[in-house]
Structure 1
Amino acid sequence: MPGSPRFIYLSALLVAVMVQLSSQTQYLNSSGDICRLFANGTKLRKPGGCNEWIVCKNSVSVHGGTCGGETPHFNLKSGTCSKTLDSTYCDPPCSSMTRGYVGDTLNCANWYYCEGEKVRTRGRCDGGLSFDQTQQKCLADGKTCGARFEMCDVVPTGVPFRDEKNCNKFYTCKKYKLVSNTCEAGKYYDRASGQCLALKHVACEHHPVPEHVCGTQEEPLRNKLVSDGATCRGYYYCHDVGAVGPDPRPTRQFCGHDYFFSQEHQQCVPRDSQKCSWDRCDGRTEGYEIAEVEGCHNYYRCIDNKESELLSCGEGYFDAITQNCTSTRTAYKACIHKIQ
């Protein structure tokens, strides 16, 4: 049957995962713009430097300014130029064990001449070159730059930014330490507004797995399909893992674009035959979708898989096939009151 679920069994992988805040380490040569995580207008310390800042505009980093003169350092707390450094992020790499030229872990172009912990001189490779620790000179960077930073080295205290692995979570920094925050139930973090909104208003690629989605230790669900609790087309397949209990890593799948998932029927069914409290434009980049409103007079305009506006056929009825209003009523289950 078109749109029917395909049961794909994925072998369990034994992966040792240590959840550490240091997992937010970012590399200076990363292809992803840091501003993809922040609201428009956010001011950040420029990664890899201590005297510049950037401003986020439409998810892109824009040069904000450069400090100099008597106030050569950018202060993350005040968002202004300062006489002194405000964190250890900008400390030179010199230690009691260092002698001679040392490359910077902050920025691959920087170098220091160290005598123990003392910095005798410092410099920067020009023309896009990087300091090579082995050859002790500036070279074209033929290998991956290892310069890195922690998010809280460049993000001011209390400024939220999205968790790319969990739509219902976001991060903030407190005393240069990363803090994970979770939106209240039923809401996702919206980067543009910096707030937690109803999930239908937030574009999400990584929906959180619902708690006890595959049952409990006492009553596990085995070889069952369960709604993902966030979309009309998404569902999980809970494998039978035997005495272990509920499946700890259920497989997430989606019905085809013309179908919604029905947990009652354990399969994908035509969209207009299924009630769904989530966004009914799921899977529709454009066009219209029958609204879950009694009478079948109403429908949604769909834009980029989201409900845009609720429209009405007045005394007429919406036809899901022709995508038009008609005087002929079709008893779509999505908009017919369920008799108790």
Structure 2
Amino acid sequence: MAGNYLLGSILCLALVNAIGAQVMEGTYNVTEVCTMVKTGTQLGSIESCSSYYVCTKSGPVKQSCSAGYSYNFRAQNCGPSSQVECYYGMANPCSGKTGSNWVPNVNNCQGWYYCNGDKIAGQGNCAKGERFEMAAQKCIYGECPKTDGNSVGLSLVNYCSVVPPNMYFGSTHDCNTWYFCNPQGLQTQGTCSSSAFIVSSGVCGYDTAPGACDRVVNAPVPTTCNIKGALKADATTCGNYYVCNGEIYVLNQCPYGTYFDVDSSNCVTRKLAVPQPGCNRCQYATTPFVNAVNDQLCDTYYYCQNGNHGDVSECPSGSYFNEADQACAPLAGLVNYTPYNGACHGAAIPSGPPKPPGPNSASTGSKAISSGSNAPSTGSNSPSSGPGSPPSPSKN
């Protein structure tokens, strides 16, 4: 019995190490925001002034400042707490203050506290259509900035409360949307005239660039469950999965470049993983056309754009879709393709007569896939700057 328990513990530990849970602070999804910024960016915490996160390729890594120091997300360093403006996790936001001044309510961009020395002497909200501006020490016209998440409970009401200023960063809802934080903490947003905002370079580009739209995901609301530790694949995002905590399924995310494999209940490299049927294989794709999950003939594929896929198409009868070649290939090669391409796991050459082509099948006259009008025009990434928006790629 002890041996079985030890084996189970080892297996659970291995699974946790292989597929990490998303880092959450209330409704602030730190893991998600890390996909919106360049690798190496540091993000502030909304639970504690002494904590911060470093965004790595495998997700956020939590760090802490030394005793007596607080994290300054604007300067990206720890400084003496008396010199850092931070109000997160403080029972008394007036602590350490001298004289009379106003400080923000961090859970409501319209909210403020009035400090008389280090005592709270009053609190309230700015009028409708106004928000509190700490630097100006007054209410100013403007709506509260929106984030890609919701705002129930402990929440991030403004990305510019944790993201450093003077940098462009992306959205998880739309591939060509960008955000920008000015030094005063004002959050602005816009869209690229091209098909994608490239997080790694901070410029506008095209969705054909490797990983350009990997951050764009659509996660369904978790359902209730009662078996603690039970795993469930995400129906729409191949790199996501759920773990039951005994009451509800909690969203988790596989490491960068991997999908949740429904056969092994583990995270496996994108090419080898056997994903949930119907999930979006445009995530982490490096080619414009990809295999749809198909365990019958491996003859379906779709075009990737802005991190999303178009309608499913079929290869001509007697052929399968080869993602590496970006073409429909003779069915005889399927036996060597399926062992190394999990999207087609279980597919085999049929023994009966060939089936008639489907309504969206490719022409039998040409086996090579042509992107046609669906393919965005390509261009160099030499930016030409424009005021108020990130650089756009110049066209050849």
TM category, shorter: 0.3 to 0.5
**TM-score, normalised to structure 2's length?**
0.35
Tell me which structure has the larger Cα radius of gyration: 1
**TM-score, normalised to structure 1's length?**
0.40
